[in-house]
Amino acid sequence: MQGPRNFIMATVAGSGTALAFAPLNLWPLGVIGFALLAHLVTSASRGWTAALWAWLFGTAMFAVSLNWIATAFTFQAKMPAELGWVAVVGLSMYLALFVALPAGLAARLAQKPTARALWLVALWPLAEMLRGTLLTGFAWNPAGAIWLETPVAQLASVVGGTGLSMLALACGVALLWLVRGAGRWRAAGIATLASTGVLALLGGSMISETEFIGTPLVVVQPGIGQDERYDAAAAERHLATYIRLTRTALNEVAQAGRPVIQSAEVAQRSLTETEGVVSPLPPSAEKVTGEFRNKVDAGLARPTPEAAGGGTALLPRKPTLVVWPEGAIDDLIEINPAALARLAATISKGDLLLAGGTGVRRLPDGSARYANSLFAISGDGRIVARFDKAHLVPLGEYVPWRDWLEPLGIARLVPGDFDFAAGPGPRTLALPGFTSVSPMICYEIAFPQAVTDNSNRPGWIVNVSNDAWFGAWGPPQHLAQARLRAIEERLPVARATPTGISAVVDGFGRVRVSMDQGAVGSITTSLPPPQPESLFARLGLYPVAVLVLLLALLGHLLERHRPPPPPRPLRTITV
């Protein structure tokens, strides 16, 4: 009966652990789930058995937490919608291999339950790192994300989200020792859980308040769903919505009349020319967004406020940053000056619009391909910076192994039969008149140590995304990844998505202001200040590597230790 019982335990424990992540954030279920996982691993008869139970645990955990992926398949016609649930299960079975790997290795490296538990904790962060890099990587929902609603999350500024994952597994092991251990191991469980409480107090003490009032910031959420995102007939209406919401928000900034302090101490260095700005004629614009007709004459003349869709003139105010979501710009503005002028007319001189759109990237061989880009547009009609997304989404922005998968009917989940070109990776963009920024497009924000240029630290991070096809659970989880990066880097993050959750997060990972999913409007606030550079930003995973080595060494010593045999009883000699 042990097999069926462990099957049920692994499935239930994995499903329960999924509820510890956003949007439910029931973190105690995560600790309990990891305790049950540790029990399955430490009680397994051999390595393959431990790996099997852990794989079932991981499959259940990812299948429940990643249920939102199925929603993406309902917004396209080339593949049946039912394939979405096949994709959820298939992806979960693959990701579960990175749960089975540390479990199986721990059981192979040690026979003693306590030594196995230590090896499991030591190997877990290595498996998570591998999950985030192999086959382009999928770093979504690391175990450490369960701590986000607790002060423990602040320790990410020291050990990163990877270190928080180690702590999550360690607390699960400690709970197991507390319930099933004896003697010194029960005491060790109590000590570990008590130490986590102390770490929570320490994490809470890291948070500081400031009277700093930063640059005025507007984040626009237009409420454009995925079902209408690529409707060519609606392109003009979508742009008018962006313009109207932006101009209304900018006038709110003027009416607020808050003072602005522009003295953030952030390292600034000169930047080389932004890569990929030169654009050739587009291969076929309609493949990207459908046909788009501008209602203004060609040329660089700025349209009137009414023609721009604003309706009323903008009031005088401080220079303001405006953020639109991923893919907000439907036209190829690098080769269409009228479209660029229309966007620039939305804001005033001195303002800056950061908006997602389609760029054209020149490759080393001289060819040109589309890129998923973010543009920084000034009020005088110039593109002052551009960033191209580097970490592309399989089946979203390119089809992997296209020659094999296309004959099987596998296609991109969004319109277009081309693959986007990948950008060069994290860059710090100099913004004239404003603090420099590190742009992240969509799920690039989910990858630790890959959101800033370490040689040129920015003052904040902007994350533009399209979460409209992420279902109900995807957007809260995406915001959770952004909050983890904010804590790790001690930098504020501004997120803009078409349907939510748009938000402004401070350097402690706290959501200062946000908009609900499905809401239409804008966030009018000020940019939170950057915090001093974190230990994690300086040292990366070196502290975690030290912890891994110490736990592995302790597990090795425990496995090799053999208690001395009991003394032999004295013989009594009778005469």
Task: Work out the average pLDDT over 282-288.
Answer: 35
Instruction: State pTM to two decimals.
Output: 0.86
Q: What is the pLDDT of residue 436?
A: 96
Domain membership of residue 107 (yes or no) is yes
Q: Is the predicted pLDDT of residue 120 greater than 90, yes or no?
A: yes
Task: Work out the average pLDDT over 150-179.
Answer: 97
Give the Cα separation of 376 and 433 in Å (integer).
Answer: 12
435 and 348 in a single domain? The answer is: yes
Q: What is the pLDDT of residue 181?
A: 78
Give the Cα separation of 467 and 445 in Å (integer).
Answer: 13
Mode of pairing for the β-strands spanning 437-441 and 460-464: parallel
Reported as a single tens digit per residue, the pLDDT across 211-253 is 778 899 999 999 998 878 777 788 899 999 999 999 999 999 9
Tell me the CATH number at 491: 3.60.110.10
Task: Work out the average pLDDT over 339-367.
Answer: 89
Domain membership of residue 300 (yes or no) is yes
Give DSSP secondary structure letters for 426-476. Answer: --PBP-TTS--EEEEEGGGGGSTT-SS-TTS--SEEEEE---TTSTTTHHH
Q: What is the pLDDT of residue 301?
A: 36
Task: Identify the top-confidence range among 227-236, 264-273, 354-363, 519-528.
Answer: 519-528
Q: What is the pLDDT of residue 306?
A: 46
Give the Cα separation of 279 and 197 in Å (integer).
Answer: 55
Domain membership of residue 89 (yes or no) is yes
Quick one: CA dihedral 436, 154, 213, 328, positive or negative?
positive
φ, ψ of residue 569 to 5 degrees: the values are -65, 145
pLDDT band, very low/low/confident/very high, at 298 (cuts 50, 70, 90)? very low
341 and 223 in a single domain? The answer is: yes
Domain membership of residue 149 (yes or no) is yes
255 and 276 in a single domain? The answer is: yes
Torsion angle of the four alpha carbons 263, 266, 271, 276, in this order, in degrees rounded to the nearest 10: -90
Query: How many domains is the chain built from?
Result: 2
Q: Which of 88-97, 263-272, 402-411, 539-548 has the lowest mean pLDDT?
A: 263-272
Q: Is the predicted pLDDT of residue 303 greater than 60, yes or no?
A: no
Q: Is the predicted pLDDT of residue 397 greater than 70, yes or no?
A: no
Q: If we measure between CA atoms, which residue out of 507, 523, 537 comes closest to residue 209?
A: 507
Domain membership of residue 430 (yes or no) is yes
Q: Which of 37-51, 266-280, 494-508 has the lowest mean pLDDT?
A: 266-280
Q: Is the predicted pLDDT of residue 274 greater than 60, yes or no?
A: no
Domain membership of residue 545 (yes or no) is no
pLDDT band, very low/low/confident/very high, at 573 (cuts 50, 70, 90)? low
Q: Which of 76-85, 141-150, 191-200, 305-314 has the lowest mean pLDDT?
A: 305-314
Q: In the sheet that 352-362 helps form, which strands lie side by side, from edge to edge?
A: 383-388, 368-378, 352-362, 321-323, 216-221, 521-526
Reported as a single tens digit per residue, the pLDDT across 101-114 is 999 999 999 999 99
Q: Is the predicted pLDDT of residue 294 greater than 70, yes or no?
A: no
Torsion angle of the four alpha carbons 271, 527, 425, 87, in this order, in degrees rounded to the nearest 10: -170
Could you tell me the residue range of the domain that residue 104 belongs to?
A: 2-208+554-560
Q: What is the pLDDT of residue 410?
A: 58
The amino acid at residue 178 is: L
Domain membership of residue 542 (yes or no) is no
225 and 187 in a single domain? The answer is: no
Q: How far apart are the first and last CA of the chain?
A: 56
Q: Which of 13-22, 129-138, 211-220, 265-274 has the lowest mean pLDDT?
A: 265-274
Task: Work out the average pLDDT over 387-414.
Answer: 63
Mode of pairing for the β-strands spanning 352-362 and 368-378: antiparallel
**Among all chains, which residue has been given the structure tokens 């404003």?**
434
Task: Work out the average pLDDT over 425-432.
Answer: 94
243 and 120 in a single domain? The answer is: no
Give DSSP secondary structure letters for 313-338. Answer: PPPP----EEE--TT---S-TTT-HH
Task: Work out the average pLDDT over 45-74.
Answer: 93
Task: Work out the average pLDDT over 328-348.
Answer: 93
195 and 223 in a single domain? The answer is: no
The amino acid at residue 471 is: G
Domain membership of residue 549 (yes or no) is no
202 and 315 in a single domain? The answer is: no
